[in-house]
Amino acid sequence: MLCKIIPEKCIACGLCQVYAPEIFDYNDDGIVILKNDSNAYQEFVPDNERNNALTAYRKCPVRAIEIIEK
């Protein structure tokens, strides 16, 4: 499963890190970044984080997270 972030859409609500703290983090402005690589906009999600990433995707109010099943 591939997870993409679109920081331009992010409104810094903080929900994605609540649901998937191993995947998402924030920059100094509260905008979403990927925890494992703050310069990346996509990463493959390990199976054990799959449900958390899906929950974050569903909860993001502005669809700044995309999930692509591979």
Residues in contact with ligand SF4 by the rule CB under 6 A: 10-16, 32, 60-62, 64-65
| Residue (41 or 50) nearer to ligand SF4, CB | 41
Alpha-carbon gap, residue 65 to 7, rounded angstroms: 9
CB of 55 to ligand SF4, least distance (A): 10
CA pseudo-torsion sign 65, 9, 16, 44: positive
CB of 5 to ligand SF4, least distance (A): 6
CB of 47 to ligand SF4, least distance (A): 22
Give the closest residue to 2 by CA, choosing from 39, 62, 57. Answer: 57
